[in-house]
Amino acid sequence: MTAPAIAVSAVAKRYGAVQALGGVDLAVQRGEFFGLLGPNGAGKTTLISILAGLTRADAGTVAVMGHDVVSDYRAARLSLGVVPQELVFDPFFTVREALRMQSGYFGLARNDDWIDEILANLDLLHKADTNMRSLSGGMKRRVLVAQALVHRPPVIVLDEPTAGVDVELRQGLWTFVRKLNERGHTIVLTTHYLEEAETLCHRIAMLKAGRVVALDTTANLLQRFNTHALRVRLATPIGLDFLPGARDDGHGWVEIPFESYGEVEDILSRIRLTGGQVEEMVLGAPDLEKAFVGVMHGA
């Protein structure tokens, strides 16, 4: 039986009085585009640090492509590329020199063709001979992505890769990452941009306080919280007893949940009958943000 791309079993990690991970179990299959979501402090970065060998778990095991990250660490490191949250770079080298050095760490002496392909796909070719110190924050983040890919790892972890990045880079990055996934690379994404996870990820695990509180396909998670919402801004406040589940946000907007679009006409009719005057209206479909909030509040 083929080992998963990532296998995490009963992993626990404590920092003093803080239980960062409290027995995490999950498996990411080969070729998946997998989302790892959670609020700040949920344990995502700790789990990634254990996966990358930067931190040792107190208990449990982690394997990458069947290689234990402790007992078979060389093979595990070769199988993994990580794009960290922090902008960590060497200020003494150009972009190309940095990527050549990163290649050397993995024993790749002649890797320029692949480096050029990465640079082209990340729109970095025109910066190839620029010193890292001279790059903008967005460009430095592109280089971090390039460094994670330079040894062609089968498993790629993207830890908040688009934080502080402009829209053009974000779109270009996702086009390239999708292409890598289509070629068979396993992608693990952590992000606070939930629309990215909803669009890209096949399955999603949600962490809260160091534990997995939801693990399912994206479609199933959305289905669990499939209520639509009608948001209306009213000219004057009205009583909401006649609208089941309606919620006033205190700023003139009222949100009313509904199951099918056929109910919208009836809701608006009820508002008019009570003297309400609708000034603005927005229809909202189920999305991952609603699912995320629902899971976090219910966990």
**What token pair was written down for 84?**
């960290």
Inside any domain, residue 53: yes
CATH at 194: 3.40.50.300
Sheet of 59-64, strands arranged across: 18-28, 6-15, 59-64, 67-68
Sheet of 80-83, strands arranged across: 80-83, 155-159, 186-190, 33-37, 203-208, 211-217
* Cα–Cα separations (whole angstroms), residue 89 to 86, 144, 153, 160: 9, 8, 20, 17
Task: Write the single-letter amino acid at 298.
Answer: G
Predicted confidence at residue 226, as pLDDT, reads: 61
- Within 8 A by CB and 6+ apart from 86, the residues are none
Same-domain pairing of 216 and 74 = yes
E-only strand ranges, 199-290: 203-208, 211-217, 228-234, 247-248, 253-258, 278-284
Confidence of residue 225 (pLDDT cuts 50, 70, 90): low
* Cα separation, 156 vs 226, whole angstroms: 31
State which of 151, 175, 192 marks the end of a domain: 151
CB 150 within 8 A of CB 117: no
Q: Write out the residue range of the structural domain in which residue 9 sits.
A: 1-79+153-222
Inside any domain, residue 86: no
Count CA atoms within 13 Å of residue 114 on its CB side: 16
* Cα–Cα separations (whole angstroms), residue 255 to 193, 240, 244: 23, 10, 11
Same-domain pairing of 72 and 6 = yes
CATH at 240: 3.30.70
Query: Which range is most confident: 31-35, 131-135, 244-248, 271-275?
Result: 31-35
Inside any domain, residue 65: yes
Which H or E run contains 35? strand 33-37
Q: What are phi and psi of 67, to 5 degrees?
A: -105, 120
Predicted confidence at residue 60, as pLDDT, reads: 96
Confidence of residue 138 (pLDDT cuts 50, 70, 90): confident
State which of 151, 174, 200 marks the end of a domain: 151
Same-domain pairing of 252 and 164 = no
Same-domain pairing of 65 and 115 = no
pLDDT one-digit tens code per residue, 203-223: 999 999 999 999 999 888 877
Inside any domain, residue 64: yes
Inside any domain, residue 85: no
3-state secondary structure of 192: coil
Confidence of residue 32 (pLDDT cuts 50, 70, 90): very high
Inside any domain, residue 292: yes
Same-domain pairing of 49 and 188 = yes
Same-domain pairing of 69 and 158 = yes
3-state SS of 64-110 is ECCEECCCCHHHHHHCEEEECCCCCCCCCCEHHHHHHHHHHHCCCCC
Same-domain pairing of 176 and 49 = yes
CB 121 within 8 A of CB 183: no
Predicted confidence at residue 30, as pLDDT, reads: 96
Number of domains in the chain: 3
Same-domain pairing of 249 and 285 = yes
Report the share of the chain in percent with pLDDT over 70.
96
Inside any domain, residue 234: yes
Same-domain pairing of 120 and 139 = yes
Same-domain pairing of 260 and 195 = no
Report the share of the chain in percent with pLDDT over 90.
48
* pLDDT > 60? residue 56: yes
Same-domain pairing of 1 and 71 = yes
Same-domain pairing of 42 and 162 = yes
pLDDT one-digit tens code per residue, 160-197: 887 767 777 788 788 888 999 999 999 999 988 888 88
* pLDDT > 70? residue 18: yes
State which of 170, 192, 222 marks the end of a domain: 222
H runs (alpha helix) in the chain:
44-52, 73-78, 95-105, 112-121, 137-149, 167-182, 194-200, 218-224, 263-273, 288-298
* Cα–Cα separations (whole angstroms), residue 242 to 109, 235, 246, 253: 72, 18, 9, 16
Inside any domain, residue 84: no
* pLDDT > 80? residue 261: no
